[in-house]
Structure 1
Amino acid sequence: MSKEIKILVVEDDDNLRFLVGQRLKSEGYRVSEANEGNKGLEMINTDKPDIVLLDWMLPGKEGSVVCEEARKAGFEGLVIMLTAKAQDVDKIDAYNFGASDYVTKPFNMDVLVAMLDSKVKFLLNTDRSEIHKFSNMEHHPNIHTLIRDGKKIELTILENRILLYFLRNPGKVISRDDLMQEVWGYNSDVNTRTLDMHIVRLRKKIEINPDNPQLLQTVRGVGYKFNGH
């Protein structure tokens, strides 16, 4: 795999930025660093990195603003937000300012590297990107999009993760705990109400009648089950 991939790390915690930078260099990535938002935005615009690891809370300009302004200036690379709390992930979706994905802190370096490697594969197009067909829809997880009867429906980062997990486990009863672990991560501090709210939103996008769901069904007292195909 070609590792001529440029990654910009924008993080104000010097220690974390150093550790992430060293690890990514050892994996063969070309790494540049910024420790605050204005500098980060300037480097995105001048260096055109392939991937930006962008801290949510930054001095100068916060991560959401950096991402939004970079997108407005035409930046098309991947932007992965680093957030301290799972709650921030809801904000990332609510603002919808163009983040591609997120990682919650504290994260495991191996997990971060594995995630980047899979993103890079997609960037380099060495594997056919994953597409799932079900009912009258196609799910394109890499671009957070659902195509239904030829129309594009945008999914939030979380809806995208939830749907992908169900599509990879069709017909299987999935507990709420497993789903939350998968979608929000291991240090998750979200509650089941938040999960249920995302399920309701997702149903509005995939079900013919969201009040009587045929695809994404509730299994009382346990969780959910997806009846694809």
Structure 2
Amino acid sequence: MMRETQGKVQRKVLVVEDDHSIALGLRINLEGEGYTVFLADDGERGLELATSEEPDLVILDIMLPKMNGLEVLQAIRREGRTMPIILLSARTAEMDKVTGLELGAEDYVAKPFSLAELLARVRAALRRGAMAPPSTMHAFGDIVVDEGARSVRKAGRAVDVTATEFDLLICLLRAKGRVLTRETIFQEVWGPNHHGTPRTIDNFVQQLRAKLETDPQSPRHFQTVRGVGYRFSAS
């Protein structure tokens, strides 16, 4: 997924944005930070590039011609691709954010946005995806998690998880049964400058339960501690 130029590895970023001035500004600044940038101005082309170019990260507008951003997001995740996706939209309604996160987005930035903040979020998302101890393994029930490979297997079969889902999973596993507040989880997974809400954490925990619990409605491993947050139980 990474390109090597003159001995230096470059990360690839796909920007799917139909406002040409915004897209051009993002391209100039992302290339200035050393990324290889691909542009698409409609949802169908964005999905094509997400498949053919295998970017390390996608910046995805919601209001797009041909396919809207949420449809593109859903299609990317349906294909099993787990690169971080940052939604970009003038919409600020809570439901749009919740829907995007439930479909597998890592972050949501509302227009008008601070370019410096967006670039910081891009760096943070890529950094989270690259950070992992080389050989730490976790096993519980029929689940095996390899931190170094950033892989999850259930009953011997690979489970597709997004970068943020994996980081949340590792955060809970490393706590070894301690109760983590939502604020602690935000700090560990999203960093100190997060702009999420408690619903953000709840949505990601629900996604982990859906993928890893035998009965997501009665979770054994990812437990809610009412009024506080969440804890992991290996039993």
TM-score category (smaller protein): 0.5 to 0.7
Q: CA deviation at 1:176?
A: 3.0
Q: Deviations over 1:158-197 (max 9, x none)?
A: 75453232123333321134336666883224548x8289
Contact 1:132/1:138 (<8 A) preserved: yes
Residues 1:27 and 2:27 aligned together: no
**Within the alignment, does 1:115 sit opposite 2:129 as a pair?**
no
TM-score normalized by the length of structure 2: 0.62
Give the corresponding residue for 1:78: 83
1:63 matched residue in structure 2:
69
Cα RMSD (Å): 4.5
Q: Give the TM-score taking structure 1 as reference length.
A: 0.64
Name which of 162, 187, 191 aligns with 2:195. Answer: 187
1:105 to 102, 109, 116: 109
Residues in 1 aligned to 2:125 and 2:198: alpha-carbon distance in whole angstroms: 22
**Cα distance, 1:28–1:134 mapped onto 2, change above 3 Å:** same
In structure 2, relative to structure 1, the CA distance for the partners of 1:212 and 1:189 (3 Å cut) is: closer
Identify the residue that residue 230 of structure 2 maps to in structure 1.
224
| 1:9 lines up with 2:15 in the alignment | yes
Query: How many aligned residue pairs are there?
Result: 216
Q: 1:117 to 1:216 in 2, by over 3 A?
A: closer
| 2:93 counterpart of 1:91 | no
Change (3 A) 1:93 1:227: same
TM-superposed CA distance for 1:113, in Å, is 1.8
What amino acid maps onto 1:138 in structure 2? V
The one-letter code matched in structure 2 to 1:31 is: V
- The alpha carbon displacement at 1:133 in A equals 0.7
Judge conservation of contact 2:15–2:40 (CA < 8 Å) in 1: yes
* Identical positions, percent: 25
Greater mean deviation of Cα atoms: 177-186 or 215-224: 177-186
Distance 1:190 1:54, change over 3 A: same
Pick closer, same or farther for the CA change 1:13–1:179 going to 2, 3 Å. Answer: farther
Asked if 2 retains the 8 angstrom alpha-carbon contact of 1:93 and 1:157, the reply is: no
Aligned-pair CA distance for 1:65? 3.3
Residue 133 of structure 1 corresponds to which residue in structure 2?
138
Residue 78 of structure 1 aligns to a residue whose secondary structure is coil
1:164 aligned residue: 170
Give the match for residue 113 of structure 2.
Answer: none
CA–CA distance in structure 2, aligned partners of residues 217 and 71 of structure 1: 25
How far the C-alpha of 1:10 sits from its partner, in A, is: 1.0
Compared with structure 1, are the counterparts of its residues 143 and 206 closer, same or farther at alpha carbon in structure 2 (3 Å cutoff)? farther
- Letter in structure 2 aligned against 1:135: F
Is 2:146–2:152's contact at 8 Å kept on the other side of the alignment?
Answer: yes
* Aligned residue identity for 1:33: L
Cα 1:110/1:180, change in 2 over 3 Å: closer
- Give matches, 1:32-47, under 5 Å: 32-41=38-47, 43-44=49-50
Q: 1:9 offset after TM fit, Å?
A: 1.0
Is the Cα contact below 8 Å between 1:81 and 1:102 reproduced in 2? yes
How far apart, in 1, do the equivalents of 2:153 and 2:41 lie? 39
Look up the match of 1:50: 55
Structure 1 unaligned segments of length 5 or more: list them.
Answer: none
